[in-house]
Structure 1
Amino acid sequence: MEGFAYGFSTYVFIERNSANSAVLHPYPETKIEAVRDALDDAGYDMEILGKGDINTGRERAGEGIYFTEQPFPDEVLGDLADALIVRGFGAFAYSLIESSFDSGAKISLFTRMGKNIVEAGNRVIMTHMYIGEIEGRKEARTWFFGSPTDLAEAEMLLLSRFSTQPVHDVHGMAAIEIVHADYSQGFLSHTELMSAMLNVLGKSGYNGPAFVTDSSII
């Protein structure tokens, strides 16, 4: 694997959406057309899901969807990230490697994909909270994705309020997980927890996409 030890002006976080599709979250969102053009240059067809166009005078913003007729392996997520990295984007792809932590759980475990690794960033990370159920009780866990240096600093900041579980690989920190006991015990809502995490990170200049996925209502 080749490491890229510098920051980028645009970051892209890639997640699987289904067996034959992936969602690309750019930051800033207004760079989505540049992401599409870069992938087109690499031979990948990506559609834009967003708002704004040349006819309204608004800069187009949103997310991207990569879709194929047939299911594709997780390695394709890494291929998309690699194609973007060598074209000047800080790209991160993550693959689901375990769909539960316990019997009946609907919580996810992820690992980083791709041959090229963005080692340093500009304090841009993705925050994704997953809400699921274990034996009828709701649980919430948040995963943070980004460069090893950004994640290492972010973990130190988050430790002021939360108990973190960092995930490491040969390049350093690959992700951060937080298990929200306050949510399971009914002390705080998921919106309160998300606001608290983003507030801690935002005070130190961190930005990036943030999402909540609630599989307990599916």
Structure 2
Amino acid sequence: MRITWMFVAAALSFPVHGALADSIQLTVHSSATIDVSSPNDNFFGQYDRVQGQPSLNDHPSISTNVLIPFSNVSVLLPAGSVFEDASVGIAGPSTHVIGTGHEFAGAPFGTVINHSLPSVAPTFSTTGISDATVDLLFLGGTSVNGEKVSTNIQDLNFLLTGFIQSALLNPGSNWAGYLGGSGQVVIPYTVQLTVDYSPVPEPSSLALFGIGLLGLSGVVRRKLRS
């Protein structure tokens, strides 16, 4: 009986390579080019107190949601392996994203200060910046079809907030109205798919395991005969 237990203990303690869980990680770096605009939504300032002197209150703001279509990515598990778990994560920029921008005078409003003088709208440089903070609203998961594991994302939802700014060339005079703006930003992002699985044992490991069992069985026979 003692020999039998030694045989069982030896068999259970024999290492079988490949039986432990393994993982595959796929990382995709990409970017999205997004047009941003702020048409006629910021108060430029009404000229009061001193004629011809504007008061610039703010720059055109960016506040928009953008949906970017996403092409799913997939990994194939090694043949015969068993799927265990999968996760997908998407990381966007952690700081402000700076792009191109241009301010322009939007629709005038109200009344001018002095009706005897012409109303001249301010003008801006055609070059400037769009400064946007990006929040990625991610909803998605993974799908499994046989040995194929894929991301399951319909689209990427970016929330952009910030402002558009360009140099003031002519402050204008006797004018009151709104400012608009337009620009473009490039948003980099990274998609990471991680899949955990249990691989099948390697043939060499199985052969060694079988040889070990045969050797142990021979020892048992000799012990029993003696």
TM band (smaller chain): under 0.3
More helix by share: 1
More strand by share: 2
Q: What TM-score do you get using the length of structure 2 for normalisation?
A: 0.20
Give 1 or 2 for the bigger CA radius of gyration: 2
- Higher RCO structure (Cα 8 Å, ≥6 apart): 2
Q: What TM-score do you get using the length of structure 1 for normalisation?
A: 0.21
